[in-house]
Amino acid sequence: MIKVLLIEDEAPARKKLKSYIEKTGRSIEIVQELETVEETLFFFNNNKTDIDLIFSDIELRDGNVFEVYSSFTINCPIIFTTAYNQFWMDAFETNGIEYLLKPFSFERFHKAWIKYDSLKNRFIENDINIIQKLERYYQKKNLETTSKKEFLPIKLAQEIYFLKIIDIAFFRADYGVIYAYDSNDKRHMLNQTSLKEVEDVIDTNMFFKINRSEFVNRNFIKKIARYNKNTVSISLQSQNHILKTSQSKTAAFNVWLGV
Answer whether CATH 3.40.50.970 is correct for domain 151-257. no
Q: Where are the domains of the chain?
A: 2-143, 151-257
* Residue 181, CB-side half-sphere exposure with 13 Å CA sphere: 20
Angstrom distance (rounded) from CA 217 to CA 205: 9
- Residues 49-62 have pLDDT tens digits of 889 999 999 999 88
Residue 177 has pLDDT above 80, yes or no: yes
CATH T-level topology, domain 2-143: Rossmann fold (3.40.50)
CA distances from residue 97 to 90, 143, 200 in whole angstroms, order as listed: 12, 21, 26
Angstrom distance (rounded) from CA 56 to CA 35: 10
- Position 230 confidence tier, pLDDT thresholds 50, 70, 90: confident
Angstrom distance (rounded) from CA 196 to CA 181: 17
- Of 1-10, 64-73, 116-125, 194-203, highest mean pLDDT: 1-10
- Position 129 confidence tier, pLDDT thresholds 50, 70, 90: low
Kindly report the average pLDDT of the chain as a whole number: 86
Global pTM reads 0.52
Residue 25 has pLDDT above 70, yes or no: yes
Residue 71 has pLDDT above 70, yes or no: yes
SS3 71: coil
pLDDT at position 128: 45
pLDDT at position 176: 77
